[in-house]
Amino acid sequence: MLLSVIIPCYNEELVILETYKRLTEVMQKTDMDYEFVFINDGSRDQTFPILFQLSQEDNSVKIINFSRNFGHQCAVTAGINNCNGDLAVIIDADLQDPPEVILDMLEIQRKENANVVYGVRKKREGESWFKLVTAKYFYRTLNKLSDVKFPVDTGDFRLIDRTIIDEFNRLHEKNKYIRGLISWMGYKQLPCYYERKERFAGETKYPLKKMLKFATTGLLSFSKKPLKVSIWAGGASVLIGLIYALVILILKIVHPASFVVGWTSIIFIVIFFGGVQLLTIGILGEYIGNLFDEAKDRPEYIIKEKVNL
């Protein structure tokens, strides 16, 4: 049995050696063969040279080197597409997901013969309250909006087996929301509770902008409900318009004198409905943008070189 550990890395020079050490210690406690698949996602620091050095000393260190930064989800996709394991673990490079939890995941997988063991964060240390709150509500809202139900407080840290890997390799959609796709596949999926730690060193590679993009990807690829906003908003504005017309009509009949032209209300209405229209066109645009990405059918990532693979 071979276990692949998939580790996306973007400017992680400060943590990568420690991560390698901790992971190796954990792997030696299992009776499995293992490989580390590091994906260097266009780092601009010393991440690649450090990884390369490791790969020369240790054959189990394999590297996929991207031609530029394609993003976390693309890096994980490349890892899954290229790993050889019967089982694979997806883990962050920054040691926020403690490598020791892999042992618990393996145990659950064996005992219960599960296809997926996903990490559920009982507690998150050292994250801003903003991230905690937005993450908490994001996962719950997504669940409400989506037709598929996802486990909440769950990231990409998980163990998957060959069945899942092979199914995943059949998916060719572009903007992937990996944790959602894996839940969507079904099979036997079990939780493994753990405490998410503080980042070992360096700072987050997920600034607000990337977080928002990621959240939008999740929402758009698993829910068509935002499109319905347009229908509801449209319906509501037609209704309001009709009522307003009726009121004016009645006022004109019963109280013609009081009827002065309402400049304010017209402006208000123009701005309000202009806004509603822009908003709904924007939502449409997001979906069309995704269709556009699919139609172009570009590869999700470009690999400059592979080491030991």
Q: Which residues bind ligand UDP (CB under 6 A)?
A: 8-10, 12, 41, 69, 71-72, 75, 92-94, 96, 204-206
Contact characters 65-94, Mg ion, x per CB under 5 A? ---------------------------x-x
**Euclidean distance between CA atoms 308 and 9, whole angstroms:** 17
Q: Which is nearer to ligand UDP, 69 or 216 (CB)?
A: 69
**Closest CB to ligand UDP among 148 and 215?**
215
**Strand pairing category for 154-161 and 61-66:** unpaired
CB of 199 to ligand UDP, least distance (A): 6
Q: Which is nearer to Mg ion, 201 or 248 (CB)?
A: 201
Tell me whether residue 43 or residue 183 sits nearer to ligand UDP (CB atom). 43
State whether the Cα torsion 191-193-195-197 is positive or negative.
negative
Is 19 a binding residue for Mg ion by CB under 5 A? The answer is no
Q: Exactly one of 4, 47, 77, 96 binds Mg ion (CB under 5 A); which one?
A: 96
> Least distance from C-beta 205 to ligand UDP, angstroms?
3
Is there a contact between 51 and 88 (Cβ–Cβ < 8 Å)? no
* CB of 11 vs ligand UDP, minimal distance in Å: 7
Strand order in the sheet with 2-9: 189-196, 116-124, 154-161, 87-90, 2-9, 33-40, 61-66, 303-307
Task: Supply the minimum distance, in Å, between the C-beta of residue 72 and ligand UDP.
Answer: 4
> Which 3 state secondary structure label does DSSP give 45?
coil
Q: Any residues with CB less than 8 A from the CB of 308 and at least 6 apart, and which?
A: 55, 59, 60, 61, 62, 63
C-alpha gyration radius of the chain: 25
Binding track, positions 207-236, relative to Mg ion; x by CB under 5 A: ------------------------------
Report if residue 97 touches Mg ion, rule: CB under 5 A. no
**Phi-psi sector, 102: left (phi>0), alpha (psi -120 to 50), beta:** alpha
Distance in Å, CB of 218 to ligand UDP, minimum: 14
Strand-strand pairing, 303-307 and 61-66 = antiparallel
Given ligand UDP, Mg ion, none, residue 156, with its beta carbon under 5 to 8 Å by kind, binds: none
Least separation in angstroms between residue 150's CB and ligand UDP is 17
Closest separation in Å from C-beta 93 to Mg ion: 8
Residue 93 interacts, among Mg ion, ligand UDP, none and using kind-specific CB cut-offs from 5 to 8 Å, with ligand UDP
Any idea which residue has 């769950």 for tokens?
154
Q: How far apart are CA 7 and CA 16, in angstroms?
A: 10
What whole-number distance in Å separates Cα of residue 11 and Cα of residue 204?
A: 10
* Structure-token match 């031609």, residue found: 67
Q: Helix (H, G, I), strand (E, B), or coil: what is residue 15?
A: coil
Q: If binding means CB under 5 A, how many residues of this protein chain bind Mg ion?
A: 3
**41: contact with Mg ion by CB under 5 A:** no
Q: Which is nearer to Mg ion, 10 or 177 (CB)?
A: 10
CB of 188 to ligand UDP, least distance (A): 27
Binding site for Mg ion (CB under 5 A): 92, 94, 96
